[in-house]
Amino acid sequence: MNEIKFYSGEQIPLELHKVRVVQKIQMVPIERRLEALQEGMFNTYRLTTKDVFIDMLTDSGTNALSDKQLAAMMQADDAYAGSQSFFRLKQAVEDVLGKKYYLPVHQGRAAENIISYAYVKKGNLIPMNYRFSTLLAHITQHGGKIIELLYDEAYVIDSTHPFKGNINIEKLEEVIQIHGAENVPYIRMEASTNLIGGQPFSIQNLRDVRAIADKYNIRLVLDASLLGENAYLVIQREEEFKESTLPEVIQTMTGLADIVYFSARKLSSSRGGGICTNNTDIYKELSPLIPLFEGFLTYGGISVREMESMAVGLYETIDETMISQSLSFIAYLVNALDANGVPMVKPAGVLGAHLNAMEICKHIPQKEYPAASLAAALYLVSGIRGMERGTMSSQRDEDGNEPCADMELVRLAVPRRVFTLSQIKYVVDRVTWLYENRELIDGLRFVEEPPMFRSFMGGLEPVSDWPQKLLNKFREDFGDSL
């Protein structure tokens, strides 16, 4: 995409949209934020939005809708079976993703449930570039295990590697040989690998996976929830595709997979999901599960209005000015914080900026959740809500042991076309202040630990009175500022 150059030479991301519907947000004082944290048991998932100023928890279902999506929602065709809204969506899936069979599901994890239900048996192994938390739970539920096969470079936080989401091809083949191809129902590749900081894979890597899948007759499943951004970064970073268009790159990627599934809360900024394929056998195997778990085959648990919005949102995914917006804001945020010395995941990736809590809070042991502590501290000093991505988000093993995560990150999601640049500058300001006062942050411990998805609903408490100390320092430095 051609860049707009500034006379001053300054490089800032320029919004290529205008705001026509707004939502008022409010900032409560830091004393109220401390109470809100206590009420929410120091888990940012448990805060309510009336206490949150800038909500960077996730981009899932929080991207801005376009005027065209809203308009399309008004012409939805309400019907249990055979709705025209479904056929418009099916056409969009075929046009954008290049797959003729489309199975609607109410969100991404429903697709994970159906694919696992159909293909994962006890003792199976599913190799992948990296897990997503809901996916891991579904595979485990069916007696399967996963193996993550990233290259070492992916774990280097401060890196210049353009494709940290690549799967390790040599290890992939080795794992299949050791485990036996008959025990590997599919290989999964996730576009813009979420949990390692939104890092893409290259098309060459996907082609290499396809070759292995063909050699051993194993299905290749693509999680396309963040496909548009991965495709955009392929054009930016992979020499062979620098002259290609977004639709070409997207269809090159989907064309290599047997099954493509997605959370539409991400892919098309609407609320729904889908599984699509060109393989008639796969369609026949999966389609009976839609009425069982989701709803009739022409709505799958999605409202007709959302289906209309999803169809338009899919076409908008191939608009470079749309898909590059959050990427350019993320790059701005990462570069500005990096320039202030704050340890970040680099290169800037997809869906959000990621703070390296392992480094920022290196004085906090992993068993006291440095990333969760940093997320709580950031909310306290700014009203910015981020998400913990570390040990607190991992699951205990069968023996109750708690594995320490490979990375301790705080994700600051940047949903598409939601924030202004001055809000992003506020984030840079407060994160930098917090970084300079990081020694005041201490750990957290669980007081309520649910057996599954403890990061969503678990309750914690601080191991010392550090939140009050941080509040006092904030008041010293900022006076009566909110």
The residue behind tokens 């065209």 is 68
Number of residues that bind ligand PLP (CB under 6 A): 15
Residue 239 class from Cβ within 10 Å (0-12 exposed, 13-18 middle, 19+ buried)? exposed
The answer to whether residues 195 and 132 touch, using CB atoms and an 8 Å cutoff, is yes
Contact segment (CB under 6 A) with ligand PLP among 42-50, 203-211, 213-221, 222-230 equals 222-230
The answer to whether residues 262 and 108 touch, using CB atoms and an 8 Å cutoff, is yes
Give min distance, CB of 236 to ligand PLP, in A. Answer: 20
The only residue of 44, 63, 107, 113 in contact with ligand PLP, by rule CB under 6 A: 107
Give min distance, CB of 106 to ligand PLP, in A. Answer: 8
Asked if residue 225 binds ligand PLP (CB under 6 A), the reply is yes
**Positions 247 through 286 that interact with ligand PLP (CB under 6 A):** 263, 265-266, 273
Give min distance, CB of 59 to ligand PLP, in A. Answer: 8
Measured CA distances, 267 to 36, 61, 165 (Å): 32, 10, 18
User: What is the distance between the alpha carbons of residues 39 and 149, in angstroms, rounded to a whole number?
Assistant: 39
The answer to whether residues 434 and 355 touch, using CB atoms and an 8 Å cutoff, is no
Give min distance, CB of 105 to ligand PLP, in A. Answer: 9
Sheet strands side by side (includes 387-389): 352-356, 409-413, 387-389
Q: Which is nearer to ligand PLP, 132 or 299 (CB)?
A: 132
The answer to whether residues 349 and 232 touch, using CB atoms and an 8 Å cutoff, is no
Contact segment (CB under 6 A) with ligand PLP among 88-96, 221-229, 397-405, 410-418 equals 221-229
Measured CA distances, 166 to 134, 148, 187 (Å): 21, 11, 13
Asked if residue 60 binds ligand PLP (CB under 6 A), the reply is yes
Tokens describing residue 378: 């950031």
Q: Which is nearer to ligand PLP, 72 or 128 (CB)?
A: 128
Phi, psi dihedrals of residue 24, rounded to the nearest 5° = -75, 140
Q: Which is nearer to ligand PLP, 262 or 466 (CB)?
A: 262
The continuous run of DSSP H or E covering 354 comes out as strand 352-356
Asked if residue 393 binds ligand PLP (CB under 6 A), the reply is no
Q: Which is nearer to ligand PLP, 63 or 382 (CB)?
A: 63
Give min distance, CB of 363 to ligand PLP, in A. Answer: 31
Asked if residue 62 binds ligand PLP (CB under 6 A), the reply is no
User: What is the distance between the alpha carbons of residues 219 and 410, in angstroms, rounded to a whole number?
Assistant: 34
Contact segment (CB under 6 A) with ligand PLP among 223-231, 333-341, 424-432, 440-448 equals 223-231
Give min distance, CB of 111 to ligand PLP, in A. Answer: 8
Q: Which is nearer to ligand PLP, 112 or 442 (CB)?
A: 112
Site string for ligand PLP, 111-140 (x = CB under 6 A): ---------------------x-x------
Asked if residue 198 binds ligand PLP (CB under 6 A), the reply is no
The residue behind tokens 């191939």 is 318
Q: Which is nearer to ligand PLP, 201 or 446 (CB)?
A: 201
The only residue of 194, 254, 269, 325 in contact with ligand PLP, by rule CB under 6 A: 194
Contact segment (CB under 6 A) with ligand PLP among 40-48, 107-115, 277-285, 451-459 equals 107-115
**Positions 449 through 468 that interact with ligand PLP (CB under 6 A):** none
Q: Which is nearer to ligand PLP, 131 or 438 (CB)?
A: 131
Contact segment (CB under 6 A) with ligand PLP among 155-163, 170-178, 179-187, 219-227 equals 219-227
Helical axes 370-382 vs 466-478, angle rounded to 10°: 40
Give min distance, CB of 226 to ligand PLP, in A. Answer: 6
User: What is the distance between the alpha carbons of residues 257 and 172, in angstroms, rounded to a whole number?
Assistant: 16
Tokens describing residue 38: 């206590």
Contact segment (CB under 6 A) with ligand PLP among 29-37, 102-110, 288-296, 431-439 equals 102-110
The only residue of 55, 208, 223, 229 in contact with ligand PLP, by rule CB under 6 A: 223
User: What is the distance between the alpha carbons of residues 374 and 388, in angstroms, rounded to a whole number?
Assistant: 8
19 Cβ partners below 8 Å, 6+ apart?
A: none
The continuous run of DSSP H or E covering 371 comes out as helix 370-382
User: What is the distance between the alpha carbons of residues 253 and 98, in angstroms, rounded to a whole number?
Assistant: 10
Calculate Rg over the CA atoms of the chain: 22
Q: Which is nearer to ligand PLP, 49 or 177 (CB)?
A: 49
Helical axes 203-216 vs 246-255, angle rounded to 10°: 20
The residue behind tokens 């997503």 is 132
Give the CB-nearest residue to ligand PLP: 108
Q: How many CA atoms lie within 13 A of 270 on its CB side?
A: 31
Which chain residues interact with ligand PLP by CB under 6 A?
A: 60, 107-109, 132, 134, 190, 194, 223, 225-226, 263, 265-266, 273
